[in-house]
Amino acid sequence: MGTGHLNGSRFDLTVSLRHGTIPHRADEWRASFVRASELLFDATDGQHQFGTISVCPNSTGTSSADFFLIRGTGRSQSSTGQLGIAGAHATLCSDERFRPFIVLHEFAHYAYDLYDR
């Protein structure tokens, strides 16, 4: 269940690292989420950004995760319009840690119920 919620103008989220903690990899993910938050702030004319992001290492936090960060490569995906809904989460593949636009793209599906055209 994703426990993410809008707290004022900030989205508080939980991410679950679906692998062991690798310090440099955690830093890379952090940088991507920081940049995605800046992009969200810009795209919403200052109305929304990421707030507190709780990180659960070693595949913990499954029941509360809004994002699963997996080690493998592949295609990231998300449930649409499921922020705070039990059992829903977005999945980001390892190579997305260098692509904050993809982080924001999947978040937009998850939180705003936006679809690809």
Residue 79 belongs to domain spanning: 5-112
Residue 82 is assigned to a structural domain of this protein: yes
Distance of CA 66 to the CA centre of its chain: 6
In this structure, what token pair is assigned to residue 45? 């004319």
Residue 107 is assigned to a structural domain of this protein: yes
Residue 41 is assigned to a structural domain of this protein: yes
Domains held by the chain: number: 1
Q: From first to last of its 117 residues, what are the pLDDT tens digits of the chain?
A: 578 999 999 999 999 998 877 788 889 999 999 999 999 999 999 999 999 999 998 999 888 999 999 988 888 998 889 998 877 899 999 888 899 999 999 999 999 999 987
Q: Supply the pTM of this predicted model.
A: 0.91
Residue 117 is assigned to a structural domain of this protein: no
The long-range contacts involving 84-92, CB below 8 angstroms and separated by at least 24 positions, are 84/2, 84/3, 84/4, 84/5, 85/1, 85/2, 86/1, 86/2, 87/1, 88/1, 88/2, 89/2, 89/16, 89/65, 90/66, 91/67, 92/67, 92/68
